[in-house]
DNA sequence: TTTCTTTGCTAACGAACGTTAGGAATCGTA
DNA sequence: TACGATTCCTAACGTTCGTTAGCAAAGAAA
């Protein structure tokens, strides 16, 4: 097992992500973060400008990754909406499982961003949700999907996915692609036996 | 519209719930809470013992309500598992929508409980999830439900429901029973058109 | 009227917070 | 060898934190 060499700044980002995830942004002190890094609190400021900068970087980096994944999953407009939706779901799960800690921070700690970052962040999130909404609406129009209320369906769908970081632990019996596949199936086919 | 008379302690609970929900437990100060109540920080301690007591009361009260609803929804063992699951989902949504703020605190702020309350809380939550898991497993055994992995299905199902407090606002176009019905349908039947 | 409970105040406690200033060690590069 | 970055330290700053002590006003109960 080989560990790649991280710059000190990246180490700080990574440790901060883990702490923000388990203890929350507000409940994590710079002295705790420093201790986890084996240094003193003041020393961190040779690498960053403020505590919030750490949160800002985590949240907006993840936003970028979600967008990149979605775009890549849905570029093939020749495909019907349903399989494109499935690919978008799988991409979302891939981002979540690749970086669970950062995802949890992205999902739960953004509200500690101060303005204008907070508003900017919420706009990004809304735009991302709109992508799913439109995909579902397109599938419903084409008769591929049953979704009387695409907005509602999109919320529920993302909800199921976004809860993942609260229970997923790397190294479990299910691999990320397994999880993605199962989630997509369960969401697209439901639980009830039909036909 | 008539407002019932709340004791001062209940007012404190209610205001604390709203603040914990929007700002988070750790980021809410006693002075903020006092200001929202029109009093001084020290005065709150005529009514409570500590800040954590507030969080404790909110979390465990909600746990009680979820259990009571689940038990009441699933007592009729003459019913097949699928309709009992549907009733349990509806009960869960009812609790979530009846007290959105407290639900959000219950779902996200419990980790700021200190031991042993935290462990006790997690045991309750696990027991509640087990209820859904067993219901789904029963339905799968009876051939009513398609769920190759009941534990996975239960997690996903509760995930969809538990995201509700992040977007639900009372007074929207959908009433809580509407939401419960739609969610149950979407989760039981899925999105994809079949047959 | 007296007494107890409820409710709230002011003032302050020690601790912890995010952050900064100024200096020292280490290192690759000129 | 000298030099600028990089990295980290100690010490401290002003602020805010949860909480407590002691006291006062008001209302209910006796």
Q: State pLDDT tens for residues B66-100.
A: 999 999 999 988 888 888 998 999 999 999 999 99
Beta-carbon contacts of residue B4 (< 8 Å; ≥ 6 apart): none
d(CA A73, CA B9): 52
Better pLDDT: A5 or B147: B147
Task: List beta partners, residue B192.
Answer: A145
A158, B163 Cβ separation under 8 angstroms: yes
Q: Is residue B194 part of a domain?
A: no
Cβ atoms within 10 Å of B72's Cβ, excluding its own: 12
Whole-angstrom distance, CA of residue A33 vs CA of residue A49: 15
Q: Tell me the three state secondary structure of residue B77.
A: coil
Q: Is residue A81 part of a domain?
A: yes
Whole-number average pLDDT of chain A: 88
Tally the residues of chain A.
195
Domain assignment of residue B83, yes or no = yes
* Residue B86 domain flag: yes
| Rounded-to-5 percentages of helix, strand, coil across chain A | 70, 0, 25
Higher per-residue confidence, A86 vs B191: A86
Q: Which residues pair with B145 in a beta bridge?
A: A192
How distant is the Cα of B109 from the closest Cα of chain A, in angstroms?
9
More confident residue, B112 or B185: B112
Q: Which nucleotides of chain C are near protein (any atom < 7 Å from a CB)?
A: 6-12, 16-22
Is the pLDDT at B133 greater than 50? The verdict is: yes
CATH of the domain at B114: 1.10.357.10
Tokens in use for A6? 């991280």
Q: Is residue A184 part of a domain?
A: yes
For residue A22, give both structure tokens: 């388990």
| Chain B residues within 8 A of A20 when measuring between CB atoms | none
DSSP state of B75: -
In a domain, B14, yes or no: no
Residues 6+ apart with CB under 8 A from B133: B150, B151, B154
> Using CA atoms, how far apart are residues B107 and B161, in angstroms rounded to an integer?
11
Chain D positions with any atom < 7 A from a protein CB: 6-12, 16-22
- Number of H-type helices and E-type strands within chain A: 9, 0
Quick one: pLDDT at residue A99?
Answer: 92
- Contact criterion met (CB < 8 Å) for A186 and B153: yes
For residue A15, tell me if it sits in a domain.
no
Q: Could you tell me the CA-to-CA distances from A169 to A165, A179, B113 in Å, in that order?
A: 8, 12, 22
Residue B106, Cα to own-chain centre: how many angstroms? 6
The structural domain count of chain A equals 1
User: What does the pLDDT average to over A107-136?
Assistant: 95
Note whether B82 and B145 are within 8 A (CB): yes
Tell me, yes or no, whether A96 lies in a domain.
yes
Tokens, residue A183: 């989630």
pLDDT of B120 reads 97
Separation between Cα atoms, residue B127 and residue A189, nearest integer Å:
27
Q: How far is the CA of A29 from the C1' of C17 (A)?
A: 8
Residue A163's domain comprises 55-189
pLDDT(B170) > 90: no
Per the prediction, chain B carries an average pLDDT of: 88
Mean pLDDT score, A143-148: 80
């Amino acid at each position: 097992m080989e560990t790649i060499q991280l710059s000190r700044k990246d180490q700080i980002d990574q440790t901060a992500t883990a702490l923000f995830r388990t203890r929350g942004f507000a409940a994590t002190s710079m002295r705790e973060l420093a201790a986890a890094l084996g240094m003193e609190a003041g020393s961190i400021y040779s690498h960053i400008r403020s505590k919030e900068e750490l949160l800002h970087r985590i949240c907006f980096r993840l936003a970028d990754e979600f967008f990149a994944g979605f775009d890549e999953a849905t570029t093939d407009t020749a495909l019907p909406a349903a399989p494109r939706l499935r690919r978008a779901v799988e991409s979302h799960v891939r981002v979540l499982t690749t970086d669970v800690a950062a995802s949890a921070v992205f999902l739960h700690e953004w509200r500690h961003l101060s303005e204008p970052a907070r508003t900017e962040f919420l706009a990004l999130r809304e735009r991302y949700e709109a992508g799913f909404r439109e995909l579902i609406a397109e599938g419903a129009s084409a008769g591929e999907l049953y979704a009387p209320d695409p907005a509602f369906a999109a919320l529920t769908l993302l909800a199921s996915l976004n809860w993942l970081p609260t229970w997923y632990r790397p190294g479990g019996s299910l691999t990320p692609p397994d999880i993605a596949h199962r989630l997509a199936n369960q969401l697209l086919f439901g639980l009830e036996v039909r036909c």
